[in-house]
Structure 1
């Protein structure tokens, strides 16, 4: 059995009829390497007009079936007023490629997802989607977590202890000030806080966010994110990823779910990072850790670049690859 990563490119020409989204597969290296070859698996073609823009940014592997599902972003970046109600889940975008589209029923019926960027992962047969907004220009900065059941067409609901009307209708996040767009759930060691969300965006979303690149523990029962867990380089410096435009990178996050467990992230330019030293944070009780206090790495994790995937037009930024999941094949 070999570990493969999957990602989906955004619609390269959203002004044309329909949405054509390329799916790529690549070998996950066991140790740091240089270039990683990618193979085109297929193209998801969604002609539905139910969503303003159908970018499948959330990718997740079902641990029961081993198949990959993808969730579209909530709404188009730059639109501060229009809240897109459509939730589209595309199944089986791995090998063998056989995509099928479902639209979960919103519960309650006026549910709208918050934010512009998305991440996803499975907890058993339940699919979770984190959706966030990174910039004040587009409204309140923050993230909200959503639960999608997979029986038949499924249902989608907001994960929150006592959501307000604004949170349910997508105008406010349940986690203000905490932006994340990658989600990884630990199915080898299940529990309500055995999950992480990631933020590899190099912008300071709010004044108090001076670390830029973070992880967050995620409580799947309440939808709550912890305080930031700072990502550092192997030499101990705060991680600083940049693009040619200097604004940072969106990310996908995934656990391996067999053998020796690994936590990896894919950035939209094709860079793959392996994250280590997170064990103290993930095993700790509660969600308070991440304040960068404590010993033995508590409050920190290390991100090591292990390779760069050769994805068409990724480095130039012409096409973004933001979703990421891992399959043991």
Structure 2
């Protein structure tokens, strides 16, 4: 058995007239830092006329089946409208490749997701597919912030906004024009299925365009609330200063040390340590100042770069990320 990472790219030829050709790649997760990582093409998801926003930015591994699903982002990039009312989950995009799409029913029927960027993971009791959707800059005319959504695993299932904290859900939050977590941008999601709990989940932000640097947030799966930020540092103790869309995933492998890996759309893989103290703290509070990295800090170390077609040039972004034990 070995740990493999999966990612999915944007439309390969940037030509919507022949559908959205989204390539899925698989690569071995290194146990220690290395120079470069060679990926293998698993298959291609072709979405033609299905959705307005066909970028599948949220990748997630179902702990029960071991199969990978993807969720599309909510909006057309660079545009304030429209918010795509069609939510799709594309299942089984791992190896062996056997993609199939379902369209969860929106609950309530006028629900529209917030944000331009997206992350996903399976978790909770019972297991559901969670999608975090966020916006990192006000230049698009949308506030900076994030909201959490829950997609049930039935076919086609339902999608609903997770919002059980603070004031009642507003019409703007339901309509996707205001976030439930204002000022907190996240576009990667990882749920700890080895040690389940309502706040055993983390969201990632490797962007500086939202004005607050690279960080993690604890996520409450029952209320959708994000914690105060957990600042990401490099191995020298300096604040991490990357600016790219991200993915996040736990290695859910029983009987071994659990690992948390971060992902950049360019193919860079980071291992994150020191989050254990923060995640172990009850509720959404942060860890003790006597912990591994002090209160509210974690360390990210570059493991290597996956050599993905056109990733470095920025022609194709690879934003979804998940890990499978195979």
TM-score (norm 2): 0.94
Show the counterpart of 1:300.
297
Q: Alpha-carbon deviation of 1:89?
A: 0.4
Q: Alpha-carbon deviation of 1:53?
A: 2.2
Show the counterpart of 1:80.
80
Report SS of the residue matched to 2:305.
strand
Choose the corresponding residue for 1:257, options 223, 240, 252: 252
- Aligned counterparts of 1:59 and 1:15: Cα–Cα separation in 2: 22
Show the counterpart of 1:19.
20
- Aligned counterparts of 2:20 and 2:2: Cα–Cα separation in 1: 31
Report SS of the residue matched to 1:16.
helix
Residue pair 1:38, 1:309 contacting (<8 A) in 2 also: yes
Residue pair 2:75, 2:81 contacting (<8 A) in 1 also: no
Show the counterpart of 1:181.
187
Report SS of the residue matched to 2:32.
coil
Show the counterpart of 2:133.
131
Q: Alpha-carbon deviation of 1:82?
A: 1.7
Residue pair 1:14, 1:53 contacting (<8 A) in 2 also: no
Residue pair 1:60, 1:69 contacting (<8 A) in 2 also: yes
- Aligned counterparts of 2:81 and 2:52: Cα–Cα separation in 1: 13
Residue pair 1:201, 1:213 contacting (<8 A) in 2 also: yes
Show the counterpart of 2:265.
268
Superposition CA RMSD, Å? 1.2
Q: Alpha-carbon deviation of 1:312?
A: 0.5
- Aligned counterparts of 2:206 and 2:15: Cα–Cα separation in 1: 25
- Aligned counterparts of 1:222 and 1:167: Cα–Cα separation in 2: 14
- Aligned counterparts of 1:14 and 1:299: Cα–Cα separation in 2: 43
Show the counterpart of 1:48.
49
Q: How many residues align?
A: 315
Q: Per-residue CA shift, 1:218-257, capped at 9, x if unaligned?
A: 000000000110000111000112xxxxxx1001100000
- Aligned counterparts of 2:241 and 2:115: Cα–Cα separation in 1: 24
Show the counterpart of 2:161.
158
Q: Work out whether 1:172 is the aligned partner of 2:178.
A: yes
Matches within 5 A, 1:1-12: 1-12=1-12
Residue pair 1:71, 1:120 contacting (<8 A) in 2 also: yes
- Aligned counterparts of 2:104 and 2:62: Cα–Cα separation in 1: 17
Report SS of the residue matched to 1:324.
strand
Show the counterpart of 1:244.
none
Q: Alpha-carbon deviation of 1:152?
A: 1.4
Q: Alpha-carbon deviation of 1:31?
A: 0.6
Show the counterpart of 1:235.
236
TM-score (norm 1): 0.93
Unaligned runs of 5+ in 2: none
Show the counterpart of 1:287.
284
Q: Alpha-carbon deviation of 1:84?
A: 1.2
Show the counterpart of 1:326.
323
Report SS of the residue matched to 2:173.
helix
Q: Alpha-carbon deviation of 1:118?
A: 0.3
- Aligned counterparts of 2:105 and 2:85: Cα–Cα separation in 1: 10
Q: Per-residue CA shift, 1:75-134, capped at 9, x if unaligned?
A: 112111321111010000001000000000000000000000000000053100000000
Show the counterpart of 1:121.
121
Unaligned runs of 5+ in 1: 242-247
Report SS of the residue matched to 1:202.
coil
